Amino acid sequence: MSPDGRWLAYDSDESGRSEIYVRPFPRLDDKWKISTDGGNEPLWSRDGKELFYRIADKMMAVSVAPGTVFAVAVPKMVFDGRYQFSGTGVSAYDVSLDGRRFLIVQPAADAQPATQIHIVLNWFSELQQRALVK
């Protein structure tokens, strides 16, 4: 969802490959294709004037002007590199408030697939108990 709640950005393979689209919300009657060469994991900038997405190892940005008519500029590459994909349909990265920095997971060169997961329950209670001990 865009920061103002009026626009929905998503990826879909309806064209035969994954592309980024934007629709008005809640109407969903119009649709604009944002990406030009495929894309995944769309994420709005905090001010709603830019939409970020990924194509393989490239992070892309496109300026948008949502209004009565939705205007879209040509997408531009922000940077490239080998980064984790979420595989869940939710962006596996975040963008700073000013849109100049990204938080994104970069796998280690010798990364092996995870074979186990550790779940910690009641960690806040344990932290409080440990903080009280001096």
For residue 93, tell me if it sits in a domain. yes
Predicted confidence pLDDT, tens digits, the chain (134 residues)? 999 888 999 999 998 999 999 999 888 888 889 999 999 999 999 999 999 999 988 999 999 987 667 788 999 999 998 887 777 767 788 999 888 899 888 777 766 766 777 788 888 888 888 787 65
Give the C-alpha separation, 30 to 24, whole Å. 7
**Contact present, 72 and 50 (Cβ < 8 Å):** no
At 9 the pLDDT is 93
Q: What is the pLDDT of residue 125?
A: 85
Residue range(s) defining the domain that contains residue 67: 7-108
> CB under 8 Å to 26, separation ≥6 — which residues?
none
123 within domain boundaries: no
How much is the pLDDT for 70?
Answer: 79
The total number of structural domains in the chain stands at: 1
Closest CA to 70 of 98, 48, 46, 40: 48
Does 88 reside within a domain?
Answer: yes
Radius of gyration of the chain (CA): 19
Alpha carbon separation from 114 to 64, 81, 107 (Å, rounded): 38, 21, 12
Is position 118 within any domain?
no
Domain membership of residue 114 (yes or no) is no
pLDDT at site 133: 61
Q: Is 120 inside any structural domain?
A: no
